[in-house]
């Protein structure tokens, strides 16, 4: 049986899209939300979309204890508070996949602009906040939440993965690869996340101008 994955903030668009895609791939998914009732409601929606999937709803702190890989899918404005609330439950050896992008929209600015993060990137900020022994991998910034949730849509794009330990990145690369149409690419150390995160506002700008949901592909690999 496949190892479970916990998704923090999975009642939101990106987290829910990942949940149903992984659920369809046969991976047990723990759907986390700040409110346990909302988490269970999202799990019910996921079961309706993927009747054969294994979905469980739980409050975020409970969800974070149930898997070795925990995916953080909250908006940047909630990242710090969420990680503070998880500090006592995340444990040594877990991998936290940070999908956060510090868009200026978090402070009522434009979604095509980035906020400056003192640590260099949202992922590096996360790495400073998690307990010792919890490793942060940055990924999943450029895939459309709407397209993930649309199970009839055929995905065909690459996902950049940044992290400081090869083993952690490989685990995340394999997990992403379970979603049909997504290819994960090792993009280097966690410090490269500042560049990967900045691709999101670029894609937002492209997508607004072309009325599409473009992703990225790395050629020559």
Whole-prediction pTM value? 0.96
DSSP state of 103: B
Cα 125 to Cα 5, 131, 153, 182, 190: the distances in Å are 22, 12, 33, 26, 11
List, for residues 34-43, the tens digit of each pLDDT value: 999 999 999 9
| Number of Cα atoms under 13 Å in the Cβ half of residue 205 | 10
User: Could you count the other beta carbons within 10 Å of the beta carbon of residue 162?
Assistant: 27
In this prediction, residues 183-212 reach a mean pLDDT of 96
pLDDT for the residue 195: 96
Phi first, then psi: give them for residue 65, nearest 5 degrees: -90, -10
Residue 159's H or E segment, with its range, is strand 157-163
pLDDT for the residue 211: 94
List, for residues 57-79, the tens digit of each pLDDT value: 999 999 999 999 999 999 999 99
CA distance 16 to 8: 10
Contact present, 25 and 88 (Cβ < 8 Å): no
In this prediction, residues 22-47 reach a mean pLDDT of 97
Report residue 109's pLDDT band, with 50, 70 and 90 as the boundaries: confident
In this prediction, residues 161-173 reach a mean pLDDT of 98
pLDDT for the residue 111: 80
């Amino acid at each position: 049986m496949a190892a479970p994955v916990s998704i923090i903030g999975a009642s939101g668009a990106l987290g829910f899209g990942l949940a149903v895609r992984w659920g369809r791939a046969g991976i047990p998914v723990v759907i986390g939300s700040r409110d346990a009732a909302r988490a269970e409601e999202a799990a019910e929606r996921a079961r309706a979309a993927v009747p054969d999937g294994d979905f469980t709803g739980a409050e975020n702190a409970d969800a974070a204890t149930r898997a070795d890989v925990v995916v953080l899918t909250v908006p940047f404005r909630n990242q710090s508070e969420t990680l503070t609330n998880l500090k006592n439950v995340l444990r040594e050896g877990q991998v936290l996949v940070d999908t956060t992008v510090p868009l200026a929209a978090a402070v009522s600015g434009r979604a095509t602009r980035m906020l400056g993060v003192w640590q260099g990137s949202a992922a590096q900020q996360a790495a400073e906040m998690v307990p010792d022994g919890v490793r942060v991998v940055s990924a999943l910034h450029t895939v459309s939440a709407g397209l993930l949730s649309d199970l009839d849509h055929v995905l065909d794009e690459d996902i950049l993965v940044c992290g400081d330990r090869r083993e952690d990145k490989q685990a995340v690369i394999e997990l992403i690869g379970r979603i049909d149409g997504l290819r994960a690419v090792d993009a280097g150390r966690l410090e490269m996340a500042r560049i990967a995160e900045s691709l999101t506002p670029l894609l937002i700008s492209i997508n607004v101008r072309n009325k599409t949901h473009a992703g990225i592909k790395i050629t020559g690999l």
